[in-house]
A = this chain, B = another copy of it.
């Protein structure tokens, strides 16, 4: 039988995932990948996990492998309260909803909030997993202008003035893909705008703890808890393979998220949640985060140094204080999706930036560079090679553009 004709209308909104296809080559031997969005596996506390496992089996026995509440494993919800408080997110165990990664929260939010044609505001560029979660429900995306300090408050206000916006999706700290952080002043301004406009914001905060310099900023949530759904995850500090995230949302939203999650996966893995609870309760979190930061910091500096040293003057890049990414833009009209293949043939991969925009096919002159997977030497070599590829392409473009 033919199955294509059975697909629901919404299925057409799911991307056939060009990005996945083009990134397949990054797994080829010899390729240095600056394309990754994943933590270095040497950062995972494997020994601690072995210890946690015996503690959990002893303490909970079968309960760690039984069905559990959709809202989350109680010991984890309790342990998250002080962890969240450090970030300026005040809540109680009942206020915390455990999700299957942040993606699980984004999925539930898309499901309960987004109707076809609803305006959803996202940063330009934005995190592409959020788009995948919302796409099936057919939103109309409106893009928010950003600069070195993150989303520009006036751009948000303008969007809110022109027509109702159902939902605003922001990654205020060490954004994926740009690495940029919303400044303290702007946080206050954004909070003021969303309160005045009665607007609902998702504050997605996966990279918060990966700070290599500067001072931590309070979560946007601390200014406007009634207007914000705060999302966090264990993927970047503990291990992504446990697939555990968490959400703090206004009570009504939270109640409906639970209902949506019940139909989606019943609940997040019990043992996984017990591992995360133990990670927090045992204090391992306070030993592990500095270890991860010390692992990534030299890679971060190696990336910035190599860009400074090798990249042509007509490429500009972001200046993050943490996270996993640097964002680069060419001021020459280069198609970095096209150039990607040339880079790969020279054994260097990155992610063409066009994939991070809600409007497909735009901003072809951008790229995302990851610095957490390869070590310092590989980063230096990859950036040098990439610079050569860009310079060659740039010469061609300058001639073509009569410069």
Contacts and interface: CB of A to CB of B under 8 A. Distances in A.
Interface of A: 1, 3-4, 6-11, 14-17, 38-39, 41-42, 44, 46, 49-50, 53-54, 57, 61-68, 100-101, 103-104, 106-107, 110-115, 118, 129, 132-133, 135-137, 166-167, 198, 200, 226-227, 235, 239-243, 250, 252-253, 256, 259-260, 262-272
A66 to B, nearest CB: 5
Contacts of A38: 66-67
Q: Which 3 A-B pairs have the closest CB atoms?
A: A41-B62, A241-B270, A65-B239
A6 B200 contact: yes
Given A41-B61, A166-B6, A67 B133 contact: no
A7 B256 contact: yes
Copies in the complex: 2
A231 B113 CA distance: 29
A44 to B, nearest CB: 4
Nearest to A40: B62
Contacts of A46: 57, 61-62, 65
Contact of A260 (B9, B14, B61): B14
A14 B259 contact: yes
A55 to B, nearest CB: 11
A241 B41 contact: no
B264 A107 contact: yes
A264 B245 CA distance: 13
Nearest to A3: B252
A103 B263 CA distance: 7
